[in-house]
Structure 1
Amino acid sequence: MWIKVTFRAMCSLIFLSATSCTWEQMTPQFDCSVSPVQLELIDSNDSECGVSDGSFTVQASGGEPPYTISSESATNSEGVFENVPAGNYTVLVTDANDCSEELNVEIQNANGVNLTKIETLIAGCQSNDGGIEVIATGGVEPYLYTLNGGSEQASNVFSALSSGSHTIGITDQEGCSVTGNVQVLSGVSYSSSIEKIIKNNCTSCHGVSASPSFDSYDEIRAHAASIKRVTGNKSMPRGATISQDEIDRIACWVDDGALSN
């Protein structure tokens, strides 16, 4: 059996063989552990209740500038976020190598209700078994709670939820409010589920000497989004068939953040 190896720009490889070990060319992923990007909170100011006058400043370092820094309130390159209401913010920095880092920043109500703690239950893949329990303090009780901008309720517990990002809102008796974002996970495990699917169906073509290689968790995680896409549209794996349940589990694992769980 002859195997033709073609070298492309940026050291991409395409392998052609009689066993149909072909795949769409993927841009090699930069190893972010070589030069990790970092994000640090420099300053923050709480907001007065009912007024969007809070602020926070973060600073990016490492990696490869320029940086793009984003949160729920804005996107910029300076890391300065002003005129923000009370709430929990997820700040994401991405550098020129597409390496990223996250930082959670809390802006509290200076004189009102605040979100203290959120507990979650896993939802399962393609299921609605998830749950959220919210703990709030401050302000004037009793509180009213909302989920994803829906109707207010007196209970601090939400059930029958699908996996994904959810927004919690809390309002006290004086009309002071705060919001927070939380991710409910599907709970799909890499070690007991995804690793077996990849090893059994993909490594005959994406072995140690291939590019891209799916021989380790780090390599699989680096290509997680592409793996979700090509298994979802059923263009991969070549020469093998995976079930819809396996396709769904890959998608759920990637949407959870491609965790090493």
Structure 2
Amino acid sequence: MNMKHVFNSNPLRYTAVLGLFAILLAISCTSEKEPLPDECEGSISLQTTIGSEANCGQSTGSFTVVATGGSAPYTYALNGGTAQSSASFDNLAAGSYTLTVTDNSGCTAEISVNIANQDGVNASISGTTASDCDTPNGSISVSATDGAGPYQYKLNDNAFQSGNTFDGLAPGNYTVTVRDANNCEVSLQATIKSDVVFAQVKNIIQTNCAVSGCHNGTTFPDLRVDNNIVAQASRIKARTGAKTMPPSSSGRSLSDDEIAEIACWVNDGASLN
């Protein structure tokens, strides 16, 4: 259609055509553009050196991390705490720690660091089982050595118990504390993942979102591609949780269970498992 001809011959018709175009844009998923994913400049490698172990009941442990790769400068955060510019951590009690390093481009890497008890109990997570996304049935098992038995075990801020296994756990992060007969303690970090696998999430997203006129190649990202789903995981979780994806104009919607499965998969790390 020659728009110039339509305008010159019939202004009212030209206005109607423009209105039709506006309506089509309003109902089309292609109007809901998403930002391009961040691109990391390179992978980050981490190496730690233990400066000192901890004495029983004292915060005398320390370690230093060396980061290479990525884009300097780096910031360092311990157990999800406030990020700092220093690569050294001290005044640490015995236990396991998760260190997250972020480079100047926003790329991140994680490493686990263990500070041992010099004169008391030491422990490790000997096993975990995944949980259903909507029914807490995960478990954590702990193995204790050194110090003086018998040992006692505590999950988060709950009371100590004699058993070294915790059951009925939902997906999430937990702190396990082990105490020996001399009241020396060590704390460990443990994660319960969900039993949701990528194939389930892929089916939900591609059935409802990678459809004609939407994320099937006509709109970024192309959610027919597995790696694009992974790259946009956080965005997908946020939009499905807010029930803006798929858009109401598509005539499709997700159930609460489907939204929960997507969230569980993202919380687990959004991997191609």
Q: TM-score, length-normalised on structure 1? A: 0.87
Q: Which residues of structure 2 form unaligned runs of 5+? A: 1-23
Q: Equivalent of 2:179, from 164, 168, 171?
A: 171
Give the aligned partner of residue 128 of structure 1: 136
Aligned residue in 2 for 1:149:
157
Amino acid across the alignment from 1:210: T
Contact 1:149-1:169 at 8 Å conserved across structures = no
Residue in 1 that maps onto 2:95: 87
- 1: CA distance, partners of 2:105 / 2:36: 11
| Alignment correspondent of 1:50 | 57
Aligned counterpart, 1:225:
234
One-letter identity of the residue aligned with 2:73: P
1:243 matched to which residue of 2? Answer: 255
Task: Kindly state the Cα deviation for residue 216 of structure 1 after the two structures are TM-superposed.
Answer: 2.7
- Aligned to 1:231, what secondary structure does the other structure show? helix
Say which one has the larger Rg.
2
Aligned CA distance change for structure 1 residues 145 and 43 (closer, same or farther; 3 Å): closer
* Contact residue 163 and residue 185 of structure 1 kept, 8 A: yes
Residue identity (%):
39
For 2:201, the equivalent position in structure 1 comes to 194
Distance, in Å, in 2 between the alignment partners of 1:122 and 1:142 is: 28
| Ranges in structure 1 where 5+ consecutive residues have no aligned partner | 1-15
Q: How does 1:13-28 map to 2 (within 5 A)?
A: 17=25, 20-22=28-30, 24-28=32-36
Q: 1:118 to 1:23 in 2, by over 3 A?
A: farther
Change (3 A) 1:76 1:181: same
Give the aligned residue type for 1:89. Y
For the residues of structure 1 that align with 2:217 and 2:104, how far apart are their CA atoms? 27
CA shift, 1:100, in A, is 0.8
Q: Which amino acid aligns with 1:77?
A: S
1:258 alignment partner in structure 2 = 270
Deviations 1:160-179 (A, max 9, x none): 11110011000000010000
Give 1 or 2: higher helix fraction.
2
Note if contact 1:44-1:107 (Cα within 8 Å) is conserved in structure 2: no
Give deviations 1:204-235, integer Å, cap 9, x for gaps.
Answer: 22234532332333321222111111101111
Counterpart position of 1:105: 113
Count of aligned residue pairs for this structure pair:
244
CA RMSD, aligned part only? 1.8
Among 77, 84, 101, the alignment partner of 1:70 is: 77
Greater percentage in strand: 1
The residue identity in structure 2 corresponding to 1:235 is T
- Cα deviation for residue 62 of structure 1 reads 1.4
Q: Is the 8 Å Cα contact of residues 132 and 157 (structure 1) preserved in structure 2? A: yes
- The amino acid that maps onto 2:237 is K
Structure 2 CA distance for partners of 1:151 and 1:75, relative to 1, 3 Å: same
Corresponding position of 1:35: 42
Give the CA deviation at 1:49.
Answer: 1.1
Contact 2:25–2:31 (Cα < 8 Å) also in 1? no
State the match for 2:188 in structure 1.
180
Aligned-residue offset at 1:20: 2.0
The amino acid that maps onto 2:153 is: Y
| TM-score between both structures, scaled by the size of structure 2 | 0.84
Instruction: Give how far 1:19 is off.
Output: 5.3
Per the alignment, residue 162 of structure 1 pairs with 170
2:33 and 2:219 in contact (8 A); partners too? no
Q: Deviations over 1:232-256 (max 9, x none)?
A: 1111112121221111100111111
